Amino acid sequence: MKTSPFAILKGTAAALTLWALTATAPAARAETVRITAAYYSAATGPYFEKMASEFHKANPGIDVKVEVVNWDNLLQKLQTDISGGTNADISIIGTRWLLDFVKDGQAEPLDGYMSPAFTDRFIGAFLKPGEIGGKTYGLPIAASARAMYYNKDLLAKAGVASAPATWDEVVADAEKLKSQGIAGFGIQGKEIETDVYWYYALWTHGGDVVGSNGKAAFASPAGVKALTLYRSLIDKGLTQDGVTSYSRENLQDLFKQGRVAMMITAPFLINQIAKEAPNLNYGIAPVPKATQNATYAVTDSVVLFKNSKVKQAAWKFLDFLFTKDPRVEFTKGEGFLPTTKAEAADPYFTGNERLQTFVSLLPNAHFAPTVTGWEDTAKAVSDAVQSVYVGKAQPEPALKAAADQADQALGK
């Protein structure tokens, strides 16, 4: 077939007219909202892509672009993006970083967008950590608490009938496990949350990380007791070998493989075990207590950046993310705790005994305080407990030195 030059001309003319028409049509331009999401699991990326396309179907005028970033690099990436002015419109962040964002004026206060009905969707306690100076800057997209996982088969093998409820029982049970050649109580000694793993013992001994005066409070008698406890577990061989070479993930792997009988971590391990070690016979119990019950509760926040040019559209997407179905799908897929009332009422959560153990611990939960210098404190404490774990330092002087170091950054 031969196309005549005339036909081509005609076609071009038609195309030009069409282009001219669309170009002069009143701005039906699609808005693009960019979101930076943290990588929680392999399900995170697909979840947000799905939400983006569902949202786009309901709001054809708004495109949502998703970018998923590893936790380890997230803060660095945001830091680089913000310095260069190329950050997304909304991002998931660790709530403990929020203060830095607010102080630099990067995060948009959300109170103006939040209707009373919207606020009422949330479980109140989870909104608190996202508030600074009476204003809400972050919405709790993910929440978790910590509890002790125990391997029922290993405990039974050592003749232990039920999960230990106190640290003394942990020691006694770990002794029995040791005689069977099993590592009793796993301790994390490396990378992110090394400090938190020790706070479990600190809090249950009645101590606290930062006092009401805003100064480091962990070098207290309770702190010394807690650290001495961990050190003695290591010295007596009641933990896994080489504590300081185990990150949180390494320790979780050890538990999945049935190589450690007890360890403390977040609810998302349930999903991992279901997938990777479905035959593991385990239970979940509260963090062992010394003088009181305690756990660590963490929220991750989603923030809206002040420099966003599409705040209304971005808010619309956030509003959508915090409706029931998207919430249930997210929380279920990642193995977190519900942050809104509607999802908490979903049969998946009300009928889930394991998750309910975590939920029941929330009244005694400690959140990371929103104070400047929290990261420095975490680092100072991690260094101190590591130096004790490897036998380089004694608990009391190590904690005292760490407290001095933390005080230089706290509240500054």
Partner 1 sequence: MPWLLVLPSLVLAFAVIGYPLYEIMRLSVADVSRFGQVRGFVGWGNFSRMLADPVFVAALVRTLEWTVAVVGGTVLISMPVALVLQQDFWGRGLARTIVMLPWSVSLSMAAIVWLWSFDGNHGMVNTTLQSLGLLSGPVQWMALPQTAFPVEIAVGILVSIPFTVTIFLGGLSSIPGDIYEAAAIDGATRTQSFRLLTLPLMRGFLNIAIVLNVIYVFNSFPIIWVMTQGGPDNSTHILVTYLYELSFRLGRPGMAAAVSLAMLVIVFAFTMVYVRMQSREAA
Residues forming contacts to partner 1 in the complex (CB under 8 A) are 75-76, 78-79, 82-83, 100-101, 103-104, 106, 189-191, 241-245, 254, 259, 375-376, 379, 382-384, 386-387, 389-390, 392, 409
Token pair, residue 164, equals: 């230990």
Q: How far is the CB of 145 from partner 1 (least distance, A)?
A: 25
In this complex, which beta carbon is closest to partner 1, that of residue 143 or of residue 385? 385
Closer CB to partner 1, 192 or 342, in the complex: 192
Helix locations, 205-294, DSSP H: 221-235, 248-256, 268-276
Q: How far apart are CA 359 and CA 337, in angstroms?
A: 7
In angstroms, what is the minimal distance from the CB of 312 to partner 1? 24
CB atoms within 10 A of CB 192: 15
CB of residue 106 to partner 1, shortest distance in Å: 6
Q: Which is nearer to partner 1, 29 or 392 (CB)?
A: 392
**Helix residue ranges per DSSP H, 59-166:** 71-84, 98-103, 116-120, 124-127, 152-157
User: What gap in Å lies between CA 176 and CA 180, rounded to an integer?
Assistant: 7
Residue 260 C-beta: closest distance to partner 1, Å:
11
How many angstroms separate the CA atoms of 74 and 81, rounded?
A: 10
Q: Smallest gap, in angstroms, from Cβ of residue 375 to partner 1?
A: 6
Which of helix, strand or coil describes residue 148? Answer: strand
**Shortest distance in whole angstroms from residue 155 CB to partner 1:** 21
Nearest Cα neighbor of 149 from 257, 297, 39 is: 257
**CA dihedral sign of residues 272, 275, 277, 283:** positive
Which is it for strands 90-94 and 295-304: parallel, antiparallel or unpaired? antiparallel
Please say which residue, 254 or 359, places its beta carbon nearer to partner 1.
Answer: 254
- Of 186 and 335, nearer to partner 1 (C-beta) is 186
Return the SS3 of 289.
Answer: strand
CB nearer to partner 1: give 190 or 332: 190
Instruction: Give the whole-angstrom CA distance, residue 339 versus residue 277.
Output: 28
Nearer to partner 1, 110 or 385 (CB): 385
Residue 38 CA to residue 64 CA, distance in Å, equals: 16
Q: What is the dihedral of CA 45, 49, 54, 57, to 10 degrees?
A: 170
Query: Shortest Cβ distance from residue 192 to partner 1 (Å)?
Result: 9
Q: What minimum distance in Å lies between the beta carbon of 100 and partner 1? A: 5
Minimum CB distance to partner 1 smaller for 157 or for 259: 259
Residue by residue, DSSP assigns 276-340 as H-TT--EEEEPPPBSSS--EEEEEEEEEEBTT-S-HHHHHHHHHHHTSHHHHHHHHHHHT-B--B
* Minimum CB–partner distance for residue 270 and partner 1 (Å): 23
Q: Which is nearer to partner 1, 240 or 295 (CB)?
A: 240
Q: Please report which helix (H) or strand (E) contains residue 262, including its range.
A: strand 260-265
Distance CA 218, CA 149 (A): 25
